[in-house]
Amino acid sequence: MINTQKKQSFSKETYSVWQLQAAKAMLSEVIKKTRTKPQIITVRGEETAALLSIEEYRKLTGSGQSLYQFIQDSPLRDLELELPPRLPEEMRGIEL
């Protein structure tokens, strides 16, 4: 059996399952099929790897922007927040 269809959900879409040997033999076809849905590779019947289109991969991994840059670019950057006053806390003793 080279390729079977699964009806289980993977990001709300179906996916194809390939045995490792078949995926290696038909790698070009497996890669082409990632354009329409994820391709799952199994080893000894166990789902081991998933191949995704580059677009799907980029959606999952985000923009690659740092948190600092995200905050700097935020339209809310200059928003003044009113925080409640801090309650006085008892100081803890420490041993050095």
**Stretch (H or E) spanning 17:** strand 13-19
- Rounded CA-CA distance 7/16 in Å is 9
Domain 3-65 classification at class level: alpha beta
- Rounded CA-CA distance 46/61 in Å is 25
Q: pTM of the prediction?
A: 0.54
Model confidence over 33-82: pLDDT tens digits?
Answer: 999 999 999 999 999 999 999 998 888 887 677 888 888 888 888 888 88
Domain spans in the chain, listed from the N-terminal domain onward? 3-65
- Give 25-90 as a DSSP string: HTHHHHHHHTTTS-EEEEETTEEEEEE--HHHHHHHH-----HHHHHHH-TTTTPPP-PPPPPP-P
